[in-house]
Amino acid sequence: MPPAITMSDESSVEVAVPKAGAVVGAATDPHLADENPFEEMMARFDAAAELLDLDPGIYQVLRHPERQIIISVPIQRDDGAVEVFTGYRVVHNTARGPGKGGIRFDLMVTLDEVKALAAWMTWKCAVVNIPFGGAKGGVVCDPPNLSDTELERVTRRYTATLINTIGPESDIPAPDVNTNERVMAWIMDTYAMHKRSASQGVVTGKPIELGGSLGRREATGRGCMIVTREALKHLGLPLRGSKVAVQGFGNVGSIAAKLMEQEGMTVVAVSDASGAIYNPHGVYIDDAIQYCRDHRFLRGYPMGEEISNQELMALDVDVLVPAAVENTITRRNAGDIKAKIICEGANGPTTAKADRILNDKGVFIIPDILANAGGVTVSYFEWVQNRSGYFWDEETVVERLGANLVKAFGDVLDVAQRHSVSMRTAAYMLSVERVAAVHRIRGMYA
């Protein structure tokens, strides 16, 4: 695969580039308020809660994360200097099962972002009906400026500080932005040394040799393909020949593009942080992936016209797959989008105000908490395999992933049609009601 700097699992944000509408600006500028990730998540939650006539007490419980942890992560750099990084871990809700969510290493990690992503994980796990809650973590650091040894020290110190928070029955991390299988192996080893436990289930997204699952690396991109296929079927659009543009060509975007191509769709444009490539006859995805392996970025790829990411977003295609970072579709560019279907490979690529514009245009949006839930679904499969000590072949993983996501798509579509709401609102209604139902059954401990 191309040298994406993350191997996405629960989250599908893939490239560490500056995000549109940084949270600092959103906190102070009312014109950017729709780009604060936590407020974006809460706007969708509030809409679903109102339609569900959610009990005020449960509403308050679900608005607030169970735990918000801010820690110092001091390490000794290779030159002997001591540097202290800031780390976060947020557990949003564990009513349905252990917290589940990735760990990202990035200079732009904020508490608001981590809170939003943790809540998204709660809804994502509920919408595909797997027995996990939501969690997320991160360290504010710049991995390209850390040696491998320094990165390992950051990982192990972060893990050791959270040793009583994470665990296979409480909070299960996974890869995210700038973390990968190797980082998960360090976390697993650190946990094992402290707990004197050989539990493989403390993390997912591990190397196969340490109990990782076959088919996990491709799971999020495969999930995007599956739900897109279902959306085309629902809308009566042909699968073969449907035109697709993919914004973000890391692990999720490149795999989604490759699998969509294999299904007969024509991927006419792909992009990464360096820009976009457009070919009206179709980009040959394997060739583009190999070019990225050799050159790191798509810039200069000769088999198409170079265009900007914004031009890609406005292409006249059947399917647009935003699979890069948050807030790429805003009120400023939503009106330019011509795609009939948007499949949100990334978390939070569309702001609430952009949603309203797109809904008015009749765009069929497959929301992030459904579209990119393939990763956490196979993470659940990995956790199940770890706990049973019996591992499935890749064909079984792919078959069970497909069955799970087809059912989830049908469940969300049913809610959307019964209540005459968008797929996003329906997905939130379904997931919030599932979590709320468990709270009603369990009651409140006092």
Report the sign of the C-alpha dihedral through residues 89, 94, 98, 100, in that order.
Answer: negative
What pLDDT is recorded for position 16?
33
d(CA 273, CA 18): 10
Domain assignment present for residue 239? The answer is: no
3-state secondary structure of 407: helix
| Domain that includes residue 69, residue range | 65-204
The first and second tokens of residue 151, run together, are 């990165």
How confident is the model over 315-348, as pLDDT tens digits?
999 999 999 877 889 999 999 999 999 999 988 8
Residue 172 lies in a domain: yes
* Residue reference for tokens 């995805």: 285
Decide: residue 360, CB within 10 A, 0-12 exposed, 13-18 middle, 19+ buried.
exposed
Residue 136 designated active-site: yes
Q: Say how many CA atoms lie within 13 Å of 141 toward its Cβ.
A: 32
Neighbours of 107 (CB within 10 A): 14
Report how far residue 223's alpha carbon sits from residue 213's, in angstroms, rounded to the nearest whole number.
Answer: 16
Count of domains for the chain: 1
pLDDT of residue 35: 62
pLDDT of residue 218: 92
pLDDT value of residue 202: 96
107 domain-assigned: yes
Q: Which of 22, 53, 41, 49 is nearest to 347 (CA)?
A: 41
Q: Which residues of the chain have pLDDT under 70?
A: 1-35
The reply to whether the predicted model has a pTM over 0.85 is yes
Whole-number pLDDT of residue 41 = 81
> Catalytic residue among 19, 100, 124, 136, which?
136
**What pLDDT was estimated at residue 17?**
33
**Separation CA 350–CA 44 (nearest Å):** 11
Using the 8-state DSSP alphabet, how is residue 141 labeled? -
Integer Cα distance of 111 and 117 in angstroms? 10
What pLDDT shows up at residue 42?
A: 85
- Residue 186 resides in a domain: yes
Q: How far is CA 12 from the centre of its chain?
A: 3
Looking at the domain assignment, is residue 214 inside a domain?
no
Asked whether residue 264 is domain-assigned, the answer is: no
Helix axes 423-442, 56-63, angle to 10 degrees: 110
In a domain? residue 147 = yes
Q: What are the two backbone dihedrals, phi and then psi, of residue 37, each rounded to the nearest 5 degrees?
A: -60, -35
What's 95's domain CATH number? 3.40.50.10860
- For residue 162, tell me if it sits in a domain: yes
